[in-house]
Amino acid sequence: MLKLLNLEWQKQRKHRIFHVLIGMYVLLLPTTILPVKSIPELPPPINSPDALFQFPTVFTYIGYAGNWLSFFFLGFFAVLLATQEYSYRTMRQNIITGLSRNELFKSKISFLITLCLGATLYYFLVCLFYGFTHTDNYYLSTITKNIDYIPRYFLMCLGYSSFGFLIGLLIRRTGIALFLYLAYVMFIELILRWLIHMKIFANKSMHFYPMNAIEDLAPVPFAEVAETFRDENGFGFFLTPTEAMIASSIYIVLFIFFAQRLMLKRDL
């Protein structure tokens, strides 16, 4: 397995797009929320901009920033991880050279999982850094209060990237695949929800759509918004963390399963 992971690393380590996308993620994760510092006071419930940088809420704010960043940069990279092997015809060449289709699949997926683990570790380190430098008094319990954000964050990264990878394999053409990935996450799922239920938000079914479930792993950190919604509609605006984790895990398994089927069955 390590050999297969290393094979993908050999393909990517000098790849400029890989450097750019991962570099953007690394650069933007700690910096996107910095401009908030210049605002003296924020409306309730946040009040002080320091809440964004302090334990335990730092996990939710950086987590939400990471939600967007992993959707863009990790997801894009996952799409390219699939489509470029088609456009360069190197997937075909890898098989001819002696890789089995399943080995090629394992090589790609293990690389994506490793990348998501790395992205999560980086997120954890950024949170710790801001937390320790901005929180005056903290106990172990303040730090660990939102610690469930760590596995949630990992599932979120893997959710976006396994979905992007599947889209890439399905479409094979980089441009169209990237567009479809973006469009699905940003509005096709909403349109589907409306077409099927004639409602976008005010229907409990919205939770069970894949990208919604994955988004809810690190949702918008304004709990009060969700509370008002619950009072009006009788069900929560976001999935509970456990619900989101279970739903996302099921989707991830499905995405990876279909990706494997495609790679094993298709003529190259």
Partner 1 sequence: MSVLRIDQLTKNYGAIRAVDHLSLTVEAGNIYGILGPNGSGKTTTLGMILGITHPDSGSFSWFDSPDPHSARRRIGALLETPNFYPYLNAVDNLKIVAAIKGRGEEAIEEHLRLVRLHERRHSKFKTYSLGMKQRLAIAGALVGDPDVLIFDEPTNGLDPEGIAEVRETLMKIAARGKTVIMASHILDEVEKICSHVAIIKRGKLLATGTVGAILSNNVTVEIGAADIQALKRLIQEEEELHFVSESGDRLILDAEAGFSAERINEVAFKQGIILTHLSVKQRSLESEFLEITRQN
Contact with partner 1 (CB under 8 A) among 88, 187, 235, 257? 88
Tokens of 13: 């380590």
Site membership for partner 1, residue 106 (CB under 8 A) = no
For residue 22, the SS3 value is helix
The smaller minimum CB distance to partner 1, of residues 97 and 137, is found at: 97
The smaller minimum CB distance to partner 1, of residues 88 and 235, is found at: 88
Closest distance of CB 224 from partner 1, Å: 49
Cα(197)–Cα(206) distance, rounded to whole angstroms? 9
Cα(1)–Cα(110) distance, rounded to whole angstroms? 8
Cα(174)–Cα(167) distance, rounded to whole angstroms? 10
**CA neighbor of 70 nearest in space, from 173, 168, 153:** 153
- Side-chain half-sphere exposure of 133, counting CA atoms within 13 A: 8
Site membership for partner 1, residue 96 (CB under 8 A) = yes
The smaller minimum CB distance to partner 1, of residues 4 and 69, is found at: 4
For residue 62, the SS3 value is helix
Count the Cβ atoms, other than its own, within 10 Å of residue 225.
14
Site membership for partner 1, residue 36 (CB under 8 A) = no
Closest distance of CB 190 from partner 1, Å: 36
Site membership for partner 1, residue 92 (CB under 8 A) = yes
Contact with partner 1 (CB under 8 A) among 38, 97, 133, 137? 97
The smaller minimum CB distance to partner 1, of residues 139 and 265, is found at: 265
Q: Which residues bind partner 1 (CB under 8 A)?
A: 3, 6-7, 10-11, 14-16, 88-90, 92-101, 103, 265, 267-268
